[in-house]
């Protein structure tokens, strides 16, 4: 198992670098000027604009920009005069005085994403890593709650649907699965908000909590009311997906010889259905967990926007609208890592669920 995991991680390295190339290419081809976004100065001179572009390196060829973003700029420095101090490959240029205090502001250094430095947010003026880590707990809180809810409801519903095939529960669960799978998340979210938040006023309209005197959220149990509707909307599609896949897989398992043998030995139906049949019907769930974990890691953009949930997904949406490219690229890299690790986790779950499966 350990050798397999190590081999998969090594094989994922080219995939990761391919994602970085494609994502940076999309950024490079995006319309608009980074100078206009980074230095909001309507009366900026064309000469100053050209100097800033050269200083930031955005007038360099694509491969130079990409390598600088990936590795930093150490490889562009050398000791030209032999004094033991690395000299910059670029000539220092005049910098823009944004606030008029007579002190020019430096555009900031980028030491490369492979070193954990994704640059500085154009809008928040903070390190991208700090922005992501500040919003990641809210995203994980909502995502983990949605996954646990989907597993706790979707899997038993799928098993019961297979056991009661053709009966009322089976037909009703299949109809509801199709409905919740087809209904857009934003529509379901707004409908639930209108009913329970606006009309009945049982839950708050949005947000994660009411901060205390220290500006922090109280404990999770004290703010479950804020988590209720976003979790339901987020988990609705997963419940429909799990129930349909588990039903199909359980129907195949129920026709196996060992299930008939267990019934012939007089085991209770609950033991046969939920201990023997359900475990072997969980393979599709392991397959689905890979993409689902990506959604949890990168944030649910639509749901976090509808419910004003301060997570990574909402930050990604706002950053894309505001052309805050460093934050967008940081979230893309995090989502890519989540996808790779999610599918690796799916392969590991195969073995944990079904001991008959061997991976080498």
- The gap from C-alpha 93 to its chain's centroid, in whole angstroms, comes to 39
Q: Is the pLDDT of residue 171 over 90?
A: yes
At 235-274, the pLDDT tens digits run 998 999 899 988 988 888 888 888 888 888 888 888 888 7
Count of helices and strands (H, E) across the chain: 15, 0
Mean per-residue pLDDT for 32-56? 67
Q: CA–CA separation, 243 vs 160, rounded Å?
A: 9
**What is the location of CATH 1.10.3720.10 in the chain?**
128-353
Lowest mean pLDDT across 22-26, 96-100, 183-187, 306-310 = 96-100
Mean pLDDT score across all residues of the chain: 79
For the domain spanning 128-353, the CATH number is 1.10.3720.10
At 290-303, the pLDDT tens digits run 778 776 766 588 89
pLDDT of residue 191: 93
Residue pair 204/197 in contact (Cβ under 8 Å)? The answer is: yes
Angle of helix 283-298 versus helix 128-163 axis, rounded to 10: 150
Residue pair 138/315 in contact (Cβ under 8 Å)? The answer is: no
Q: Is the pLDDT of residue 85 over 80?
A: no
Band of pLDDT at residue 356, cut at 50, 70 and 90: low
- Category of 309 on φ-ψ map: left (φ > 0), alpha (ψ -120 to 50) or beta: beta
- Comparing 94 with 29, which gets the higher pLDDT? 29
Mean per-residue pLDDT for 325-347? 85
First vs last C-alpha separation in the chain: 7
CA atoms within 13 A on the CB side of 213: 0
pLDDT of residue 90: 44
Band of pLDDT at residue 59, cut at 50, 70 and 90: confident
pLDDT of residue 103: 41
Burial of 298 (0-12, 13-18, 19+ CB in 10 A): buried
Mean per-residue pLDDT for 94-107? 44
Q: Is the pLDDT of residue 36 over 90?
A: no
At 172-230, the pLDDT tens digits run 999 999 998 888 888 999 999 999 999 998 998 888 888 877 777 888 888 889 999 99
- Which DSSP string corresponds to 323-344? T-HHHHHHHHHHHHHHHHHHHH
CA nearest 173: which of 282, 250, 230?
250
Q: How many of the other CB atoms lie within 10 Å of CB of 82?
A: 6
Band of pLDDT at residue 169, cut at 50, 70 and 90: very high
pLDDT of residue 79: 47
Q: Is the pLDDT of residue 81 over 80?
A: no
| Whole-Å CA distances, 274 to 200, 277, 288 | 38, 6, 20
Q: How many of the other CB atoms lie within 10 Å of CB of 315?
A: 27
> Tokens 């429909």 correspond to what residue?
240
Query: Tokens representing 116?
Result: 């954990």
Q: Is 87 helix (H, G, I), strand (E, B) or coil?
A: strand
At 113-156, the pLDDT tens digits run 888 888 888 788 888 889 998 888 899 899 999 999 998 999 89
């Amino acid at each position: 198992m350990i050798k397999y995991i190590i081999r998969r991680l090594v094989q994922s390295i080219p995939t990761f670098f391919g994602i970085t190339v494609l994502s940076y290419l999309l950024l490079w081809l995006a319309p608009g000027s980074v100078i206009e976004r980074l230095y909001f100065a309507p009366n900026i001179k064309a000469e100053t604009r050209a100097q800033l572009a050269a200083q930031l390196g955005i007038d360099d060829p694509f491969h130079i920009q990409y390598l600088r973003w990936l590795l930093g700029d150490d490889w562009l420095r050398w000791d030209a005069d032999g004094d033991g101090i690395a000299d910059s490959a670029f000539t220092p240029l005049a910098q823009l005085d944004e606030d008029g205090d007579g002190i020019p502001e430096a555009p900031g250094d980028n030491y490369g994403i492979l070193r954990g430095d994704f640059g500085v947010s154009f809008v928040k003026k903070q390190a991208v890593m700090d922005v992501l880590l500040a919003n990641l707990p809210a995203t994980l809180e909502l995502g983990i709650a949605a996954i646990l809810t989907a597993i706790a409801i979707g899997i038993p519903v799928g098993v019961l649907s297979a056991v009661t095939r053709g009966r009322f529960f089976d037909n009703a669960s299949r109809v509801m699965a199709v409905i919740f799978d087809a209904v857009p998340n934003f529509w379901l979210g707004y409908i639930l908000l209108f009913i329970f938040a606006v009309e009945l006023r049982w839950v708050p309209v949005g947000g994660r909590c009411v901060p205390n005197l220290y500006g922090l959220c109280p404990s999770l149990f004290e703010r479950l009311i804020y988590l209720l509707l976003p979790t339901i909307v987020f988990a609705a599609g997963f419940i429909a997906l799990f129930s349909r896949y588990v039903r199909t897989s359980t129907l195949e398992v129920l026709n196996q010889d060992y299930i008939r043998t267990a019934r012939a030995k007089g085991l209770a139906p609950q033991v046969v259905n939920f201990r023997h049949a359900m475990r072997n019907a969980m393979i599709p769930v392991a397959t689905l967990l890979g993409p689902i974990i990506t959604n949890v890691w990168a944030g649910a953009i639509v749901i976090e926007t509808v419910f004003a949930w301060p997570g990574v997904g909402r930050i990604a949406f706002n950053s894309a609208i505001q052309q805050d490219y460093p934050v967008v690229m940081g979230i893309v890299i995090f989502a890519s890592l989540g996808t790779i690790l999610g599918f690796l986790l799916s392969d590991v779950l195969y073995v944990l669920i079904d001991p008959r499966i061997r991976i080498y």
